[in-house]
Homo-oligomer: A and B are copies of this chain.
Amino acid sequence: MAATVRVQTAPFDIAAELAALSAGRTDIGGIGCFVGNVRDSAGGRAIAAMTLEHYPGMTERALAAIAAEAEQRWALLGITLIHRVGRLLPGEAIVLVLAASAHRQAALDATAFLIDWLKTRAPFWKKETFADGGEDWVTAKDTDDAAAARW
Interface residues, chain A, CB within 8 Å of chain B? 13-15, 18, 22, 24-41, 90-91, 102, 104-105, 107-108, 111-112, 115, 147
Cα-based distance from A24 to B111 in the complex (angstroms): 26
Contact B91 A34 (CB under 8 A): no
Interface class of chain A by DSSP? mixed
- 13 CB contacts below 8 A, A to B, read A22-B37, A24-B91, A26-B38, A26-B90, A26-B91, A28-B37, A29-B36, A29-B39, A30-B37, A33-B33, A39-B102, A104-B115, A105-B147
Contact B15 A27 (CB under 8 A): no
Cα-based distance from A28 to B111 in the complex (angstroms): 18
Known: A27-B39, A27-B41; 14 extra A-B contacts, CB below 8 A, are: A14-B15, A18-B35, A22-B37, A26-B90, A28-B37, A29-B39, A30-B35, A31-B33, A32-B34, A33-B33, A33-B35, A34-B104, A105-B147, A108-B115
Residue of B nearest to A105 (CB): B147
Residue of B nearest to A95 (CB): B30
Cα-based distance from A89 to B104 in the complex (angstroms): 18
Contact A40 B26 (CB under 8 A): yes
Contact A39 B33 (CB under 8 A): no
